[in-house]
Amino acid sequence: MIVAIGAPAWTFARDVVISIQERELPDRITVDAGSKLVIVNEDEVFHSLFSDTTGHKFNMGTQLPGQTKSVALDTPGDLQVRCWIHPSIRMDVHVQDGTRDLTDGQP
Ligand SMILES: [Cu+2]
């Protein structure tokens, strides 16, 4: 699996790009509130990721091999991403408040 972080110049939130390979996602990631979670399906099978966590529910819908989908994570908190098709897929996501102190040296 590959985890890459992009930093658009116009925002402090950083989109997180994750590829699914071998029916695996990272166990746990942290993203800034207001950023997007971008999923690239590099498997040869369909996936259908969702979150059933209260306050953080979403359905990404059927994702074909090679397809990229994204979901905006605007609310700070913790949620779990799962797959309707593959119950073994679970990824804990910590959405942290994206507000940053400009003096901390972070871009
Ligand atoms: Cu799946």
List the chain pLDDT tens, one digit each, 107 residues: 566 665 554 445 789 999 999 999 999 999 999 999 999 999 999 999 999 999 999 999 999 999 999 999 999 999 999 999 999 999 999 999 866 555 555 55
75 CB-near residues (< 8 Å, 6+ apart): 33, 55, 56, 95
CA distance 41 to 68: 6
Distance of CA 98 from the midpoint of ligand 1 (Å): 29
Tell me the domain boundaries of the chain.
3-98
Q: Show the tokens assigned to 99.
A: 């507000």
Distance of CA 43 from the midpoint of ligand 1 (Å): 9
Closest C-alpha among 4, 1, 29, 38 to residue 96: 29
Per-residue model confidence (pLDDT) at position 81: 98
Compute CA distances 47 → 30, 36, 43, 72, whole Å.
Answer: 22, 18, 9, 18
Q: Show the tokens assigned to 72.
A: 């905006």
Distance of CA 31 from the midpoint of ligand 1 (Å): 21
Distance of CA 38 from the midpoint of ligand 1 (Å): 15
Q: Show the tokens assigned to 106.
A: 């972070």
CA distance 74 to 84: 23
Distance of CA 36 from the midpoint of ligand 1 (Å): 20
Per-residue model confidence (pLDDT) at position 77: 96
Q: May I ask the CATH class of domain 3-98? A: mainly beta
Per-residue model confidence (pLDDT) at position 14: 83
Per-residue model confidence (pLDDT) at position 6: 59
Per-residue model confidence (pLDDT) at position 89: 96
